[in-house]
Amino acid sequence: MLKQRIITAVVLLAILLPALFAASPWPFAALTLVMIGAAGWEWARLNGLAGAATLVFGGGLALLGAALLGEFGFALAPPWSWWLAGAIWVFGGALALRAGVTGWPRIAAAPRLGLGAVALVVAWLAIVQAKAIGINFLLSIFCLVWCADVAAYFGGKAFGRSKLAPTISPGKSWAGVWSGLIAVCVLGAVWVHAIDANLAVDSASLYTQLVHRWGAGSLVAIAFLVAMSVVGDLFESLIKRAVGAKDSSQLLPGHGGVLDRVDALLPVFPLALALISL
């Protein structure tokens, strides 16, 4: 399994890095749009569609994203759109987690599919616009989520006794959440005082932008983003548990599906753009 995970990760990096550092923003936008289409296919399979209908749903999401980008280009969306998307995640995520595993299937298929479509397309637009701001800014958001996830895993293994949401994701603990938050705060300090301050980066990182806008309140903003990454992760776990699936698919050998890799990113990117708009 470990060998398979490593091979898949190397292949993904070999595809992603040239697109990320390309002079034009279009290769990265196109590549990530393909991934969102694949995530849409997985979402459709988890929420009642089957066969060709799942391909139509995923393809439709990709076409919608392409149409929006073709219409509006890479100009930043108005701040209210990110705040609206963030509010939907905060309140909708809270309601979904409160309803639990048994509550999700009771929602009609059409709203579930629509919610997934909006979440995926909005997150993709936020990722594309983060790339337009700068590679350093984009990577700082990715690393926030990855750092929180890795630290939560090891912190939970070492200290996790009080479970966070045992009926949704038995492996997650409050110790893991706190470990992730501490690790991200350390990462942010390194990024602000070492990377942004001393290297010729193309843009200020998320952490530097939050410090400039929020001052000491940037710690609250970072804690909020870490918490929302956990909400995104738990939300996907809830959906998989509701239908009895271990992974969203097997598109990424050793890693599961695309949704399994991007679930925590979905709420964080729109909210990161909202927070730096103040």
Confidence at residue 1, expressed as pLDDT on a 0 to 100 scale = 59
| Cα–Cα distance for residue pair 3/5, rounded to 1 Å | 5
| Cα–Cα distance for residue pair 235/103, rounded to 1 Å | 12
- Low pLDDT (below 50) residues in the chain: none
Domain boundaries, the chain: 2-275
What pTM value is reported for the model? 0.94
| Cα–Cα distance for residue pair 12/119, rounded to 1 Å | 23
Q: Are 276 and 208 in contact (CB under 8 A)?
A: no
Confidence at residue 64, expressed as pLDDT on a 0 to 100 scale = 94
Confidence at residue 191, expressed as pLDDT on a 0 to 100 scale = 97
Confidence at residue 251, expressed as pLDDT on a 0 to 100 scale = 87
Q: Return the half-sphere exposure (C-beta side, CA atoms, 13 A cut-off) of residue 73.
A: 2
Q: Which residue, among 35, 53, 36, 34, has the nearest Cα to 44 in the 3D structure?
A: 53
| Cα–Cα distance for residue pair 242/240, rounded to 1 Å | 5
* Interstrand relation of 169-173 and 163-165 (parallel, antiparallel or unpaired): antiparallel
